[in-house]
């Protein structure tokens, strides 16, 4: 280390990594982070896959990393982690059944936590999460979740344009039938990550361990409703959130599809309650919730399919209805499956005046994102975004990690972050409860 270089101040602990997101946090090196990472986990394929992923980063030809993984593998891994406190930032991404317990235990040990979503998947988990946040405040440690979708460029621009009343007006309140905010994501069980087929653990298909659609990937959508529509505002989960409807339904996988995604010939015993008479597997990973935030009606839908058609990928849809303009992100065939932001005029201004207002808004945003432009798209305008701003989902993990490291360096997060996380997980876990309620 050069004489002028500061010693790393952050030492990572990876706890029971069972999801590839745990590895993506280490896809890059960070100057303030030690290359020595302590891993605590039970022995098994989840740990093996994680270590292989890190080894792949270390051995890649371009920009290889140099992580040194020091592994403790044993049934008492959680107790050893809390006792040894070998680092000061715990990274959590894996089986969600115990994630809330894990993060609570880490906080109780006086450790900062960077957790992949979701932090809680049931109402009981939310109750424990509230206690963990309270403990984090008492012990002055950070508890933060990985919200990668905040770093997608069209989402950023949608948020910024919605903050310009001369263009967007005010966010409508909407109705349950015509909500002011609509979001939908489509994910796929079989995909490639870092250029290789992703082998998922069997428990990923058990919603009792992974979480159902809204408590799991729906977390991102609920987060974006808050982040885009109530930016930098501290929400109160007890007062500001009201659920109206929620439902769940399965994606059915054949035995062949299950084997392709997991490399397993047979279903584990814990999945047998979800096996149909024909041998197919029902995975309840589709969900929808309608709710209000401070009186604004929102609807989010999370869907899972087996595999994306060739040339496509996971997709995102978001519509914000303003009194002067609607802002919509689409990611379908017409967009060549790239997220694309459209602006549709709803004001009484002339088309020429609206175009001038929109161009002025883009010019102002150009200070941070040079090169933005417009082109006609039917009854709307398409925001033309330079390709350099589209970095991809995997790169967002480094961006989240860098933001977390800045919080650690300053010793604090923005005041609205913790209330926002509580409001978010109250919404998702209450959606779980409502979707299971008997009519």
Q: What is the DSSP string of 23-64?
A: HHTTSS--TTB-SEEEEEE-SSHHHHHHHHHHHHHHH-SSS-
Is it the case that residue 3 has pLDDT exceeding 60? no
Q: Is 344 helix (H, G, I), strand (E, B) or coil?
A: strand
Residue 118 has pLDDT above 50, yes or no: yes
Closest by CA position to 195, among listed 18, 61, 68, 16: 61
CA dihedral 127, 130, 136, 139 (to 10 degrees): -80
> 322: which residues sit within 8 A by CB, 6+ positions away?
162, 168, 169, 170, 171, 172, 346
Distances (CA, A) of 414 to 144, 182, 331, 406, 421: 11, 26, 31, 11, 12
Task: Please give the Cα distance from 369 to 389 (Å, whole number).
Answer: 8
Confidence at residue 6, expressed as pLDDT on a 0 to 100 scale: 65
Cβ-proximal residues to 60 (8 Å cutoff; 6+ apart), any chain: none
- Under 8 Å between Cβ of 154 and 328: no
pLDDT of residue 193: 67
Q: Which position has the higher pLDDT, 3 or 321?
A: 321
Distance CA 156, CA 346 (A): 21
> Rounded to whole angstroms, how far apart are CA atoms 145 and 208?
21
Return the higher-pLDDT residue of 347 and 198: 347
Residue 10 has pLDDT above 50, yes or no: yes
**To which residue do tokens 């509230």 refer?**
130
Find where tokens 């979701």 sit: 118
pLDDT at position 342 is 98
Confidence of residue 2 (pLDDT cuts 50, 70, 90): very low
Question: What is the overall mean pLDDT for the chain?
Answer: 95
321 torsion bin: left (phi>0), alpha (psi -120 to 50), beta (else): beta
Q: Which of 64-78, 182-196, 265-279, 332-346 is least confident? A: 182-196
Nearest alpha-carbon partner for 329 in 375, 377, 369, 382: 382
Residue percentage of the chain with pLDDT more than 90: 90
- State the pLDDT at residue 5: 55
CA angle 300, 270, 200 (to 5 degrees): 60
Read off the DSSP letter of residue 309: P
Euclidean distance between CA atoms 346 and 251, whole angstroms: 38
> Region 284-291: what's the mean pLDDT?
98
Q: Exposed/middle/buried for 305, CB within 10 Å: 0-12, 13-18, 19+?
A: middle
Cα–Cα distance measured from residue 379 to residue 434, given in angstroms and rounded to the nearest whole number: 38
Residue 1 has pLDDT above 70, yes or no: no
For residue 194, the model assigns a pLDDT of 63
Q: Which residue has the tokens 């039970």?
A: 42
Say what the pTM is. 0.94
The pLDDT, as a whole number, for residue 279 is 96
**pLDDT above 90: residue 438:** no
Counting Cβ atoms within 10 Å, is residue 313 exposed (0-12), middle (13-18) or buried (19+)? middle
Residue listed under structure tokens 């149909």: 276
Please name each of the domains of the chain with its CATH number: 12-146 (3.40.50.720), 150-393 (3.30.360.10)
Residues 84-113 pLDDT 10s: 999 999 999 999 999 999 999 999 999 999
pLDDT digits (tens, 9 = 90+) for 218-269: 999 999 999 999 999 999 999 999 999 999 999 999 999 999 999 999 999 9
- Determine the pLDDT at residue 24: 95
């Amino acid at each position: 280390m050069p004489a002028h270089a500061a010693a790393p101040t952050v030492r990572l602990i990876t706890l029971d990594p069972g999801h590839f997101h745990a590895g993506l946090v280490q896809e890059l090196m960070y100057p303030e982070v030690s290359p020595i990472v302590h891993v605590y986990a039970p022995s098994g394929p989840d740990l093996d896959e994680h270590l292989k992923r890190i080894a792949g980063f270390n051995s890649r030809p371009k920009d290889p990393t140099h992580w040194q993984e020091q592994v403790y593998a044993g049934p008492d891994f959680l107790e050893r982690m809390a006792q040894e406190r070998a680092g000061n930032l715990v990274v959590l991404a894996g089986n969600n059944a115990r994630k809330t317990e894990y993060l609570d235990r880490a906080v109780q040990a006086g450790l900062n936590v960077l957790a992949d979503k979701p932090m809680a998947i049931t109402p009981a988990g939310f109750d424990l999460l509230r206690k963990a946040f309270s403990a984090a405040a008492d012990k002055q440690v950070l508890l933060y979740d990985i919200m990668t979708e905040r770093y997608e460029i069209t989402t950023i621009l949608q948020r910024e344009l919605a903050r310009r009343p001369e263009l967007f007006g005010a966010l409508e309140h909407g109705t349950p039938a015509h909500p002011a905010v609509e979001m939908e994501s489509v994910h796929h069980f079989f995909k490639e990550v870092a250029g290789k087929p992703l082998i998922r653990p069997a428990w990923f298909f058990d919603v009792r361990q992974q979480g159902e659609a809204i408590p799991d990937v729906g977390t991102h959508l609920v987060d974006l409703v808050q982040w885009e529509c109530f930016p930098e505002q501290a929400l109160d989960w007890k007062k500001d959130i009201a659920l109206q409807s929620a439902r769940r339904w399965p994606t059915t996988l054949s035995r062949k599809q299950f084997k392709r995604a997991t490399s397993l010939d047979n279903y584990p015993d814990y999945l047998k309650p979800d096996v149909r008479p024909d041998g197919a597997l029902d995975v309840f990973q589709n969900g929808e919730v309608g709710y209000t935030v401070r009186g604004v009606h929102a609807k989010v839908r999370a869907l899972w399919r087996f595999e994306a058609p060739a040339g496509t990928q996971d997709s995102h849809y978001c519509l914000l209805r303003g009194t002067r303009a609607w802002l919509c992100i689409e990611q379908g065939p017409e967009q060549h499956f790239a997220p694309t932001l459209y602006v549709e005029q709803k004001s009484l201004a002339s088309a020429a005046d609206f175009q001038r207002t929109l161009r002025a808004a883009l010019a102002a945003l150009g200070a941070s994102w040079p090169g933005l432009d417009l082109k006609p798209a039917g009854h709307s305008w398409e925001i033309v975004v330079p390709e350099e701003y589209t970095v991809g989902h995997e790169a967002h993990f480094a961006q989240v990690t860098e933001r977390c490291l800045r919080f650690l360096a300053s010793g604090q997060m923005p005041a609205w972050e913790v209330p926002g996380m509580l409001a978010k997980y109250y919404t998702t876990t209450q959606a779980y409860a409502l979707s299971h309620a008997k009519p």
